[in-house]
């Protein structure tokens, strides 16, 4: 059944937002974040310091998309005030792996004694810091920080070997939003 859905989201004080061609751009101080939202039959407007998502004839899938877009916009607002920090750890049993950053790539040498290095991409506007076997990833953009952490984990994925014996790799130890 088609229904009309209207959701409003209050813009926090000190944050400026503008919508240009299905892209929301938020700014606070010197930090600027952009997010492209694939809006098919959902209208996005800013009025009276509120972001309004409006769907004239929508179904439950459109309602789910509206709620997802609200979550993405809230992540933008939270990222403008403080950085998202992911902590990873490089674990090895026998062959000591070495980690090095060159440009926008992480180079993993001697993983499981392999002669060829493995590479992981570092997305733009993401800060990576390596101290021994501990890796810290921080960024104002939650999506970029999370994808960079996933790239690091995926680069050391082990195939065709028993995971109970070969436990080497880079693993996420701590991520934002998860309390221990």
CATH number of the domain where residue 147 is located: 3.90.930.12
Answer yes or no: do 66 and 88 share one domain: no
Return the pLDDT at 39: 78
- Spans of the chain below 70 pLDDT: 179-180
Taking the C-alpha atoms of residue 10 and residue 101, their distance in angstroms, rounded to an integer, is 40
Return the pLDDT at 58: 87
29 Cβ contact list (under 8 Å, min separation 6):
none
Taking the C-alpha atoms of residue 100 and residue 110, their distance in angstroms, rounded to an integer, is 12
Answer yes or no: do 77 and 88 share one domain: no
Tell me which residue range forms the domain holding 77. 3-81
Please give the tally of structural domains in the chain. 2
Residue 179 lies in a domain: no
Q: Which two tokens stand for residue 29?
A: 């101080």
Residue 37 lies in a domain: yes
- Identify whether the C-beta of residue 137 lies closer than 8 Å to the C-beta of residue 153: no
Return the pLDDT at 180: 63
Q: Of 38, 63, 81, which closes a domain?
A: 81
Answer yes or no: do 114 and 162 share one domain: yes
Answer yes or no: do 22 and 103 share one domain: no
Answer yes or no: do 99 and 167 share one domain: yes
- Identify whether the C-beta of residue 162 lies closer than 8 Å to the C-beta of residue 86: no
Taking the C-alpha atoms of residue 85 and residue 120, their distance in angstroms, rounded to an integer, is 18
Answer yes or no: do 56 and 93 share one domain: no
Return the pLDDT at 18: 92
Taking the C-alpha atoms of residue 55 and residue 49, their distance in angstroms, rounded to an integer, is 20
Return the pLDDT at 43: 87
């Amino acid at each position: 059944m088609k229904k009309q859905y209207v959701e409003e989201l209050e813009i926090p004080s000190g944050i400026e937002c503008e919508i240009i061609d299905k892209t929301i751009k938020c700014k606070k101080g010197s930090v600027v974040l952009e997010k492209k939202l694939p809006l098919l039959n959902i209208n996005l407007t800013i009025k009276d310091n509120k972001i309004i998502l409006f769907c004239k004839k929508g179904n439950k899938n459109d309602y789910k998309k509206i709620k997802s877009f609200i979550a993405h916009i809230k992540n933008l607002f939270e990222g403008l005030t403080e950085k998202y920090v992911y902590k990873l750890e490089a674990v090895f049993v026998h062959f000591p792996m070495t980690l090095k950053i060159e440009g926008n790539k992480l180079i993993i040498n001697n993983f499981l004694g392999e002669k060829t290095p493995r590479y992981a991409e570092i997305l733009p506007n993401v800060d990576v810091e390596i101290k021994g076997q501990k890796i810290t990833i921080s960024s104002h953009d939650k999506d970029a920080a999370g994808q960079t952490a996933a790239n690091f984990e995926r680069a050391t994925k082990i195939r065709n070997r028993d995971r109970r014996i070969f436990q080497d790799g880079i693993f996420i130890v701590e991520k934002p939003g998860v309390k221990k």
